[in-house]
Amino acid sequence: MTTSQEPAPTSVSPAATTRGRLRPIGLGRARITGGFWAPRQARNAERAIPAGQDQLEAAGNLYNLRLAAGIDEGEAIGPIFADSDVYKWLEAVAWEYGRNPSDDLLDRQRKLTAVVAAAQREDGYLDSVVQLRQGVVGRYRELVWSHEHYCAGHLIQAAVAQIRCTGDRALLDVAIKLADHLVATFGDSGQGKIRDVDGHPVIEMALVELYRETGTTAYLELARWFVEARGHGIIEGHGHHPAYFSDRVPVREATTVEGHAVRAVYLAAGAADVALETGDDDLLRVLEGQFAHMWSTKTYLTGGLGSRWDGEAFGDEYELPPDRAYAETCAAIGGVQWAWRMLLATGNAFYADAIERMLYNGFLAGVSLGGDEYFYVNPLQLRGAAEPDGNRSPAHGRRGWFDCACCPPNIMRTLSSLDGYLASTTDGAIQLHQYAEGAVAADLPAGTVELQVDTEYPWNGSIKVTVQQTPDTPWALELRIPGWAEGATLNGKPVDAGRYARVEQTWATGDTVELQLPMATRTVAADPRIDAVRGCVALERGPLVYAVEQVDQQTDVDDLHLLVGAPVTATHEPGLLDGVTVLTTEGRPGTAHTPDHWPYRPGLDDSVGDEVPVRAVPYYAWANREIGAMRVWLPRA
Q: How far is the CB of 543 from a copy of itself (least distance, A)?
A: 13
- Asked if 535 touches a copy of itself (CB under 8 A), the answer is yes
- Asked if 602 touches a copy of itself (CB under 8 A), the answer is yes
CA distance linking residue 364 with residue 598, whole number of Å: 40
Piece of the chain touching a copy of itself by CB under 8 A; list 72-80, 181-189, 213-221, 593-601: 593-601
- Residue closer to a copy of itself (CB basis): 207 or 560: 560
Per-residue HEC secondary structure of 166-183 comes to HCCCHHHHHHHHHHHHHH
- Asked if 594 touches a copy of itself (CB under 8 A), the answer is yes
Active site residue 406: yes
Q: Hey, what amino acid is at 57?
A: E
9 and 27 in contact (C-beta within 8 Å)?
yes
Q: How far is the CB of 315 from a copy of itself (least distance, A)?
A: 7
273 and 341 in contact (C-beta within 8 Å)?
yes
Of 334, 137, 135, 146, nearest in space to 240 by CA: 146
- Asked if 572 touches a copy of itself (CB under 8 A), the answer is no
Other Cβ atoms less than 10 A from the Cβ of 46: the count is 12
**DSSP single-letter state for residue 608:** B
Of 41, 381, 470, 624, the one binding a copy of itself by CB under 8 A? 381
Which of the residues 253 through 272 are near a copy of itself (CB under 8 A)? 258
- Asked if 534 touches a copy of itself (CB under 8 A), the answer is yes
- Asked if 100 touches a copy of itself (CB under 8 A), the answer is no
CA distance linking residue 182 with residue 152, whole number of Å: 9
Q: How far is the CB of 513 from a copy of itself (least distance, A)?
A: 27
- Asked if 532 touches a copy of itself (CB under 8 A), the answer is yes
Whats the size of the chain, residue-wise? 637
CA distance linking residue 420 with residue 188, whole number of Å: 36
Question: φ, ψ for residue 306 (rounded to 5)?
Answer: 95, 105
- Asked if 531 touches a copy of itself (CB under 8 A), the answer is yes
424 and 25 in contact (C-beta within 8 Å)?
yes
- Asked if 593 touches a copy of itself (CB under 8 A), the answer is yes
Q: How far is the CB of 129 from a copy of itself (least distance, A)?
A: 19
- Residue closer to a copy of itself (CB basis): 208 or 532: 532
Q: How far is the CB of 602 from a copy of itself (least distance, A)?
A: 5
3 state SS of 222? helix
- Residue closer to a copy of itself (CB basis): 149 or 263: 263
DSSP bridge pairs for 515: 463, 490
3 state SS of 108? helix
Torsion sign over Cα 314, 320, 321, 322: positive
For residue 341, what is the enclosing H or E element? Answer: helix 329-346
Of 221, 236, 443, 558, the one binding a copy of itself by CB under 8 A? 558
For residue 545, what is the enclosing H or E element? Answer: strand 544-549
CA distance linking residue 631 with residue 614, whole number of Å: 12
- Residue closer to a copy of itself (CB basis): 311 or 397: 311
- Residue closer to a copy of itself (CB basis): 232 or 522: 522
3 state SS of 302? coil
- Asked if 145 touches a copy of itself (CB under 8 A), the answer is no
3 state SS of 110? helix
**Exactly one of 312, 328, 373, 540 is catalytic; which is it?**
312
**Exactly one of 151, 330, 406, 536 is catalytic; which is it?**
406
Q: How far is the CB of 314 from a copy of itself (least distance, A)?
A: 9
- DSSP track, 567-578: --EEEEETTSTT
- Residue closer to a copy of itself (CB basis): 299 or 417: 299
Which of the residues 607 through 636 are near a copy of itself (CB under 8 A)? 635
- Asked if 525 touches a copy of itself (CB under 8 A), the answer is yes
Distances 76 to 62, 129, 140 between C-alpha atoms, Å: 10, 6, 17
Question: φ, ψ for residue 442 (rounded to 5)?
Answer: -155, 150
Active site residue 288: no
Of 187, 559, 620, 628, the one binding a copy of itself by CB under 8 A? 559
Report the DSSP pairing between strands 475-481 and 429-432: parallel
- Residue closer to a copy of itself (CB basis): 310 or 626: 310
Piece of the chain touching a copy of itself by CB under 8 A; list 75-83, 111-119, 159-167, 385-393: 385-393
Q: Which residues of 162-173 are buried (b: 16+ CB within 10 A; e: fewer)?
A: bbbbbebebbbe
Of 35, 60, 322, 335, the one binding a copy of itself by CB under 8 A? 322
- Residue closer to a copy of itself (CB basis): 137 or 385: 385
Q: How far is the CB of 462 from a copy of itself (least distance, A)?
A: 23
Of 103, 282, 310, 626, the one binding a copy of itself by CB under 8 A? 310
Piece of the chain touching a copy of itself by CB under 8 A; list 30-38, 322-330, 340-348, 487-495: 322-330
**What is the x/- site pattern for a copy of itself, positions 477-496, by CB under 8 A?**
------x-------------
- DSSP track, 237-297: HTTS-SGGGT-SS-GGG--S--SBHHHHHHHHHHHHHHHHHHT-HHHHHHHHHHHHHHHHH
- Asked if 87 touches a copy of itself (CB under 8 A), the answer is no
11 and 421 in contact (C-beta within 8 Å)?
yes
CA distance linking residue 530 with residue 324, whole number of Å: 14
**What is the x/- site pattern for a copy of itself, positions 275-304, by CB under 8 A?**
-----------------xx-xxx-x-x---
Of 34, 309, 397, 578, the one binding a copy of itself by CB under 8 A? 309
Footprint on this chain of a copy of itself (rule: CB under 8 A): 241, 243, 258, 292-293, 295-297, 299, 301, 308-311, 313, 315-319, 321-324, 381, 383, 385-387, 389-391, 483, 522-536, 538, 558-559, 590, 592-606, 635
Which residues participate in catalysis according to the annotation? 312, 406
